[in-house]
Amino acid sequence: MVHLARHMQEKYGIPYIHVSYFGIQDMSRALYDVAEFFADNEVLERTQSLVRQEIQRVMPEINRYRQDLQGKKAGIYTGGAFKAFSLVDSLRLLGIQTAFVGSQTGGPEDYQRLEAFCDEGTIIVDDANIMELVRFAQETRIDLFIGGVKERPVAYKLGIGFCDHNHERKISLAGFEGMLNFSREVHATIMSPVWKLIDSRNRQAGRN
């Protein structure tokens, strides 16, 4: 996509800005970036008002979820590194700490930025296979794994909540409404009581 935008700028002089629509922080930033690009006070004011309204709308529900989720831990593994930032940020809003984060195609620069962005102690993972991811997941005792659809059954088999972020999703994650969807799904998968049935007999370590 960036490739295309750059090409259109070079060839046709159409400017572009680089935004993320995922998470409240990023979504607000994206709207402000667009507003600032036009350097029109009225647009800026309307943007501020919209962002304020939307945040007031979604935060009460998100705060309720945070009460349940505070202190939970997650692992993230994405295709590109870009998405990882938004996910770490959105989880943070829900009170969830990212225990490890990585991507398939990230470069050294991405990982440096990720390391700076994350809390201390977060493990940065580069192009791991499923067995390595499982090891991280078990060692850090995460409550939630965020990955692609094909990692889902592995997370489930190990008794870990899961949320997928890829193109096959039916329920959108973008925008303010998307953040609500994301929060609901993360809350549902972490708070589901079914995991207790696995703990009680099958889980080795003393995780509860």
Relative to beta strand 97-103, strand 123-126 is: parallel
Binding segment for another protein among 16-24, 99-107, 119-127, 144-152 (CB under 8 A)? 144-152
Please tell me the distance from the alpha carbon of residue 104 to that of residue 115, in angstroms, as a whole number.
16
Please tell me the distance from the alpha carbon of residue 19 to that of residue 28, in angstroms, as a whole number.
10
Handedness of CA 109, 115, 117, 123 (dihedral sign): positive
Which of 20, 25, 48, 138 binds another protein (CB under 8 A)? It is 138
List CB contacts of 17: < 8 A, sequence separation 6 or more.
33, 34, 37
Q: How far is the CB of 161 from another protein (least distance, A)?
A: 8
The answer to whether residues 75 and 133 touch, using CB atoms and an 8 Å cutoff, is yes
Which of 45, 64, 153, 172 binds another protein (CB under 8 A)? It is 153
Query: Rule CB under 8 A: is residue 154 a binding residue for another protein?
Result: yes
Query: Rule CB under 8 A: is residue 48 a binding residue for another protein?
Result: no
The answer to whether residues 159 and 199 touch, using CB atoms and an 8 Å cutoff, is yes
List the x/- string, 158-177, binding to another protein by CB under 8 A: xx--------x-x-------
Query: Rule CB under 8 A: is residue 150 a binding residue for another protein?
Result: yes
Which of 152, 174, 181, 207 binds another protein (CB under 8 A)? It is 152
The residues of the shown chain that bind another protein, judged by CB under 8 A, are: 131, 134, 138, 149-150, 152-154, 156-159, 168, 170, 185, 188-189, 191-195, 197-198, 202-204
